Chains A and B, each alone.
Chain A
């Protein structure tokens, strides 16, 4: 089935920041799913900006319950549809806080039970809606309001949780990562996920201009840099095996870091070479693990 790029199911007038990665990502997700879909959203930026009472930006059936139970609600919706012999797809669109931290219990349960639904995590690497608190998705050395950089700290001390591997370890038939900076890739992966039977997981890198500290017009440029530096590997896994990887000519991580306010302490007042080297090591490890590097032509 071809994706109808002109289909608009996420309407104007929502209250996202100008240049929001979530708003763009959600629009693209709905273009890929089409009309026959029921969306479940946990609490988060997306839920708050798209549905301030009594308005909604969604043009598909949509339900919100709590922060922690989106996957459990989706399980119920999926079973009820199956019982009624209906063919609508069930999709969860949630943030990284609901996926990595608060909702991981219900998510793990739903994947273990093998419900036929797709879980899409819009990953902006912190709790942006409540004021930029760190989450399990926050990368190493990022400054947030609960991991502030200062004289005694370089920001977040822990690396990002490897959620795609955790979901693949549940026996998910399809796990993928993508970015709002690559709209066609995003739409194709969502389409593949909803047409794969069983629980599927797609993690979307969604730059946040407010939380990360950059101009709204740079959302796509920053997203591309994350992929091109190797800090956000874009790959596909089928039944636990990595089957497809986006190869890149790798750039130094510095190019990605220095454009964002959350990493500014690594460059000002003095350049923290040791910390930048640690982040480069994370990118190098990603590159060797997934084989990201393009071999130069001889």
Chain B
């Protein structure tokens, strides 16, 4: 049985919705005191924090809503929230 087009959607199609525009504060990943524990990536409600090639973490600013959970929960206090400049 095939479902009609009207009621189905391609997996992950929400990516077309760039929620980064919602942001008023922006997390800056300083990579200074970072211990690469990965808590920021684990607790991001947007799945917007990813590991980079060096094993540090960065936010995808296309989708980061700037909630500040990563900065709040970072045990090394290595993430700083600054006002978004537009």
**Do they bind each other?**
yes
Residues of A within 8 A of B (CB): 5-6, 8, 10-16, 18-21, 23-24, 27-28, 50-60, 183, 215-221
Give chain A residues whose Cβ lies under 8 Å from the Cβ of B69: 19, 24, 216-217, 219-220
| Assembly CA distance A15 to B9 (angstroms) | 16
Quick check: is B83 within 8 A (CB to CB) of the other chain? no
Q: Chain A contacts of B13 at CB under 8 A?
A: 54-56
B9 contacts which chain A residues (CB < 8 A)? 51, 53-56
* Interface residue count on the B side (C-beta < 8 Å): 35
**B10 beta carbon closer than 8 Å to chain A:** yes
B19 touches A183 (CB 8 A): no
Scan residues 31-74 of chain B and give those whose CB is less than 8 A from a CB of chain A.
38, 41-48, 51, 60, 62-63, 65-69, 71-73
Main secondary structure of the interface of B (DSSP, over half): loop
Q: Do A14 and B14 have beta carbons less than 8 Å apart?
A: yes
Contacts of B63 in A (CB 8 A): 12-13
Q: Please, which residue of chain B has its CB at the minimum distance from the CB of A51?
A: B9
Question: Which chain B residues border A15 with CB–CB below 8 Å?
Answer: 14, 17, 19
Q: Please give me the 9 A-B residue pairs with the lowest Cβ-Cβ distance, nearest first.
A: A217-B68, A19-B67, A18-B67, A13-B14, A12-B63, A18-B65, A23-B45, A216-B67, A11-B12
